[in-house]
Amino acid sequence: MKIIKGSASGMCVISGQSAPNFSLPDEGGHLHNLADYQGNFVILYFYPKDNTAGCSKEAQQFAEVYAAITACGGKIIGISRDSQSSHEKFKTKYSLPFTLLSDVDSTVCNLYEVIKEKNMYGGKTMGIERSTFIIDQEGTIRDIYRKVKIDGHAAQIVESLKKISSSQ
């Protein structure tokens, strides 16, 4: 079950605007509302698929910087179109210390405009473009990273978060 709050208004998701609110279930079936995280920085990252080489590496790198992000008042939330049970296995396999949300019908992926055409094995398909959004304590998008290259990205997020949090 998924409850969506907010809507795509036809506007592009850009830095400086309010982050689209949503509710999605985590790996255990508990609903998470973005609005519930106000007062914290949110590192909202979208990734294509659990247990693939790139997504596993990205998740592990976010796990490695988890303490640095929480020290800045941040929470990490990963979103993909995988099922709750897939997320549960993925989280357990890699001992991930952060929340994974299941967006099986792509509603939130569409709100954040991360569904893009991709070329896979010579064919075109629609999939998640690896993207990260830094959302501040008031729910405003502060930074957007699209077409993310995995190596060094989590460390880049920590540095950006430190700059944002120290400027407030």
Catalytic residues: 55
**Residue 70 and residue 84: Cα distance in Å, rounded?**
24
What SS3 state is found at 142?
Answer: strand
Phi, psi of 162 (to 5 degrees): -60, -40
Q: Residue 112's CB: how many other CB atoms inside 10 A?
A: 21
The secondary element (H helix, E strand) that includes residue 133 is: strand 131-135
